Chain A
Amino acid sequence: MAFDFLKTRQQRLFAILTFALLLAVLPWVLSGGFENGKSWLRAVDFALLYIMLALGLNIVVGYAGLLDLGYIAFYAVGAYLYSFLNSPHLAAVLPAWMMYPPLLVMLLLAAVVAGMFGVLLGSPTLKLRGDYLAIVTLGFGEIVRIFMNNLDRPINITNGPQGINGIAKVHLFGLDFGKPIQWLGLTFEVVHAYYYLILAFCALIIFVTLRLQHSRIGRAWVAIREDEIAASAMGINTRNIKLLAFAMGASFGGVSGALFASFQGFVSPESFVLMESVMVLCMVVLGGMGHIPGVILGAIIVSITPEILRDIINPVQNALFGKRVLDPENLRMLIFGLAMIIIMLLRPEGLWPSKRRKAEFHEHDKEAAA
Chain B
Amino acid sequence: MDIFLQQLINGLTIGSIYALIALGYTMVYGIMQLINFAHGEVVMIGAMVTITFINLLVGMGVHLPGPLLLLAGLMMAIPVSMLVGYAIERVAYRPLRRAPRLAPLITAIGLSIVLQQLASLIWGRSFRPFPAILETNVHDFFGASITSLQIASMLITIALLAGLFFLVERTKLGRAMRATSQNPDVAGLMGVNINTIISTTFMIGSALGAVAGVMVAANYDQAHPYMGALIGLKAFTAAVLGGIGNLAGAVVGGFLLGFIESMGSGYLGTWTDGAFGSNYKDIFAFIVLIAVLVFRPSGLLGERVADRA
Query: A residues within 8 Å of B by Cβ?
Result: 65, 67, 69, 124-125, 127-136, 138-140, 142-143, 146, 149-150, 153-154, 274-275, 278, 281, 285, 326-327, 330-331, 333-334, 336-341, 344-345, 348, 360-361, 364
Chain B nearest CB from A252 CB (Å) reads 21
B62 within 8 A of A: no
| Contacting pair A143 B102 (CB below 8 A) | no
Q: CA A85 – CA B208 in complex, angstroms?
A: 50
B294 CB → nearest A CB, Å = 5
When A330-B121, A334-B118 are in contact, do A129 and B309 touch as well, CB less than 8 Å? yes
- List the A side residues contacting B95 at CB < 8 Å: 345
Residue contact B113 to A139, C-beta cutoff 8 Å = no
Q: Are A281 and B107 in contact (CB under 8 A)?
A: no
Task: Point out which of B95, B102, B236 has the most chain A C-beta atoms below 10 A from its C-beta.
Answer: B102
**Out of B98, B113, B240, which one reaches A364, CB within 8 Å?**
B98
Q: Main secondary structure on chain A at its contact with chain B?
A: helix
Contacts known (A146-B280, A341-B92); A65 close to B109, Cβ less than 8 A: no
Decide: A67 and B113 in contact? CB cutoff 8 A: no
Write the chain A residue with the least CB distance to B102: A67
Mask of B259-293 contacts with A, CB within 8 angstroms, 1/0: 00000000000000011100110110111011001
Question: B interface, by DSSP: helix, strand, loop or mixed?
Answer: helix
A128-B309, A139-B289, A340-B113 given; A134·B105 CB < 8 A: yes
Complex contacts, B233 vs chain A, CB 8 Å: 135, 138-139, 142
Would A67 and B105 count as touching, CB distance under 8 A?
yes
In the bound complex, what is the Cα–Cα distance between A150 and B240 (angstroms)?
27
A341 & B105 in contact (Cβ 8 Å cutoff): no
The 10 closest A-B pairs by CB, nearest first: A340-B110, A337-B113, A139-B286, A337-B114, A341-B110, A154-B275, A131-B35, A334-B117, A132-B309, A124-B294
The answer to whether B279 touches A341, judged by C-beta atoms less than 8 angstroms apart, is no
A/B interface sample: 13 pairs, CB < 8 A = A127-B297, A130-B309, A131-B105, A133-B309, A134-B35, A134-B105, A135-B289, A136-B293, A142-B230, A333-B113, A334-B114, A344-B104, A360-B100
Q: Do B109 and A340 touch (CB < 8 A)?
A: yes
B111: which A residues are within 8 A, CB to CB?
337, 341
Q: B114–A341 contact, CB under 8 A?
A: yes
A139 partner residues in chain B, CB cutoff 8 A = 233, 237, 285-286, 289-290
- Considering only residues 13-48 of chain B, those with a C-beta below 8 Å from chain A are 34-35, 37
Total A-B residue pairs with C-beta atoms closer than 8 Å?
134
Whether A142 and B282, one on each chain, are in contact in the complex, defined by CB atoms closer than 8 angstroms, is yes
Which B residue sits closest to A142, measured CB to CB? B286
Q: Interface code B65-98, partner A: CB below 8 Å = 1, 0 otherwise? A: 0000000000000000000000000011001101
Min distance, Cβ B105 to any Cβ of chain A, angstroms: 5
Given known pairs A136-B289, A341-B92, A364-B98, the reply for A281 and B306 (CB within 8 Å) is: no
Q: In the complex, which residues of chain B have a beta carbon less than 8 angstroms from the beta carbon of A131?
A: 34-35, 37, 101, 105, 309
Contacts A124-B294, A153-B275 given; indicate if A345 touches B107 (C-beta within 8 A).
Answer: yes
Which of the residues A130, A143, A327, A361 comes within 8 Å of B283, measured between beta carbons?
A: A143
For the complex, what is the distance from the CA of A35 to the CA of B47, rounded to whole Å? Answer: 46
Interface-central residue, A135, A143, A326, A361, by most chain B CB under 10 Å: A135
Residue of A nearest to B29 (CB): A131
Given A143-B286, A344-B96 in contact, is the A124-B279 Cβ separation under 8 Å? no
**A142–B281 alpha-carbon span in the complex (Å):** 12
A361 to B106, CA, bound (A): 15
Asked whether, in the complex, the Cβ of A278 is within 8 Å of the Cβ of B109, the reply is yes
Interface contact A345-B283, CB-CB below 8 Å: no
Q: In the complex the two chains form, what is the Cα distance from A143 to B92 in whole Å?
A: 28
Contacts of A331 in B (CB 8 A): 117
* Contact status B99-A135, CB under 8 Å: no
Q: Contacts of B109 on A, CB cut-off 8 Å?
A: 69, 278, 281, 340
Interface centre among B37, B117, B287 (most CB of A within 10 A): B117
Minimum C-beta distance from B246 to chain A (A): 16
User: A266 to nearest B CB, angstroms?
Assistant: 22
CB <8 Å contact, B120 and A330: yes
Chain B residues, Cβ within 8 Å of A128 = 293, 297, 306, 309
Q: Which residues of B contact A360 (CB under 8 A)?
A: 100
> Within the assembled complex, what's the spacing in Å between the Cα atoms of A327 and B111?
19
Pick from A133, A153, A341: contact of B91, CB below 8 A: A341
Cα separation A28 to B210 with both chains bound (whole Å): 55
Contacts of B293 in A (CB 8 A): 124-125, 128, 132, 136
Closest to B99 in A: A348
A285 to B103, CA, bound (A): 10
**Contact (Cβ within 8 A) B289 A285:** no
Q: In whole angstroms, how far apart are the Cα atoms of A336 and B106 in the complex? A: 12
Q: Is B307 an interface residue (CB 8 A)?
A: yes
Given the complex, which residues of A lie within 8 Å of B113, measured CB to CB?
275, 278, 333-334, 336-337, 340
Q: In the assembled complex, which residues on chain A have CB atoms less than 8 Å from the CB atom of B290? A: 124-125, 136, 139-140
The residue on A at minimum CB distance from B115 is A337
Residues of B within 8 Å of A330, CB to CB, are 117, 120-121
A contact residues around B98 at 8 Å (CB): 364
Write out the residue numbers on chain A whose beta carbons fall within 8 Å of the beta carbon of B34. 131
